[in-house]
Amino acid sequence: MSAACAGATAAIAFAICLHIGWSISTPGYWLFSVLGVGLTYVDLRRRRLPHLVIGTIWAICAILFTAESVYRHQVGDLAEAVISGLAVSAALMLIALAAPGQLGLGDVHLAGTVAFTLGWLEWKSAAMAIAVALTFQWVWTVITVVRTRHRGVALPLGPALFGAWVIAIIFQ
């Protein structure tokens, strides 16, 4: 299992960095691709997303995006990323508060990070990735409920969010 996880991590990180190309922000995407595999594994096993890891990704990407904005003398991409991340975080926070137990705060935090990092590339990619992740999660939930005939099944959202992030970057 460890070898498969390491292989998946290396393949995803390589594909992401190869597709994005080199810039000041590339190490942030590399970091997210590496830690995202770990977050997916943790969420599948423990149904928890560690805020410290997600916050570290968000903070490092924010520093790198800001540095690149200053270097390029352009703040439009940074504003788009921040607005994307905050909008998704706020919307999912409202959902989490309105339907307790359905959406965890780690999921909200990770979705905001996904939208923030994709918003740097293009806000449409961020919106599409969140929509794809939520749609996939809904289908997975319906299939699980029909199969198990139990409505109280807790399913992790982290794998859907990370998978949508990878797909959005590769097909961006």
- Helix or strand run (H / E) with residue 72: helix 51-72
Among 131, 133, 128, 125, CA closest to 169: 125
HEC secondary structure over 1-25: CHHHHHHHHHHHHHHHHHHHCCCCC
Q: How far apart are CA 146 and CA 110, in angstroms?
A: 28
User: Which pLDDT tens digit goes with each residue over 82-102?
Assistant: 999 999 999 999 998 998 877
User: Which pLDDT tens digit goes with each residue over 116-147?
Assistant: 999 999 889 999 999 999 999 889 888 888 88
Is residue 161 classed as helix, strand or coil in its secondary structure?
helix
- pLDDT score for 67: 95
- With 0.85 as the threshold, say if the pTM is over it: yes
